[in-house]
Amino acid sequence: MSLKGKVALVTGSTSGIGLGIARALAAEGADIMLNGFGDAAQIEALRSDIAASHGGKVGYSGADISRPEQIAGMVAEAVKTLGSVDILVNNAGIQFTANVEDFPDERWDQIIAINMSGVFHGMKAAIPGMKAKGWGRIINIASAHGLVASAQKVAYVAAKHGVLGMTKVAAIELANAGVTVNAICPGWVLTPLVEKQLHDRAEKDGKTVEQETHDLVAEKQPMVKFTTPEQIGGLAVFLCSDAAATITGTPLSIDGGWVAQ
């Protein structure tokens, strides 16, 4: 239990990758502040299940990551109820696909607000407490799309490239403050965010979901295999460990070889 006594705030942790990371950090002994949308009863079931499985404290904030004042409020609430924010995982994110000329302005604004500006506001709110304690870990969930582009994902690719930029800036600023700042760049992970893309593509291409699943992964990754939320959780735990104390300002790919090409 290497993270006993630490508090981790994971945005967008009611589903998918964020939930995998929250569970992995809880398994190492961290107290957790969950965040995200969803059915209240299901979220409460998740919260109490994580608390019961690992014995730490688990809180929940329904803060909307597109709203800066709610992000600051969530960090303040974590400090008040759990004692601090030692580990911040900026993970909340959404997707929308269309060509640039057809991309709705409101979708652009929403993706930039959640996937990019939310990371800035989260870091801004959490950094003073980490600096005061002389220890902190910031893990920004970017994407292979933080390093390379795909068609029809203009807002997502712009946001994820922006996340890598701000990861480097914060890492430099905090280099001697005991706080590391890194980005994880996953390839395909089978979560509700990707399931929606799969079903849309299968319908458009007239394929079965099974065929489309293979084709979607193979189109981008030499390794035709999804990464799991648990594997990303394992990488987040490593980044919080002492072995990773000098890894900072770096995008860590976990993508079946996607960006090696």
User: Which is nearest to 18 in space by CA: 226, 137, 184?
Assistant: 184
Point out the catalytic residue in the list 156, 188, 226, 258.
156
- Among residues 24, 169, 173, which one has the least CA distance to residue 91? 24
12 binds ligand NAD (CB under 6 A): yes
Task: Write out the binding residues for ligand NAD, residues 37-76 only, by CB under 6 A.
Answer: 37-38, 64-66
CA–CA gap between residue 208 and residue 211 (Å, rounded): 5
Dihedral angle sign, alpha carbons of residues 65, 70, 73, 78: negative
Told to check if 112 binds ligand NAD by CB under 6 A, we report no
How many residues touch ligand NAD (CB under 6 A)? 30
Choose the binding region for ligand NAD from 36-44, 49-57, 79-87, 130-138 (rule: CB under 6 A). 36-44
Q: What angle do CA 198, 18, 215 make, to 5 degrees?
A: 20
Task: Provide the token pair at 131.
Answer: 């600096």
- Candidates 8, 50, 114, 119; binder of ligand NAD (CB under 6 A) is 114
Find the Cα–Cα–Cα–Cα dihedral 250, 118, 60, 180, rounded to 10°. Answer: 20
Interaction between residue 189 and ligand NAD (CB under 6 A): yes
Min. distance of Cβ 235 from ligand NAD in angstroms?
12
Q: How far is the CB of 225 from ligand NAD (least distance, A)?
A: 12
Interface residues toward ligand NAD, by CB under 6 A: 11-18, 35-38, 64-66, 91-94, 114-115, 141, 143, 186, 188-189, 191-194
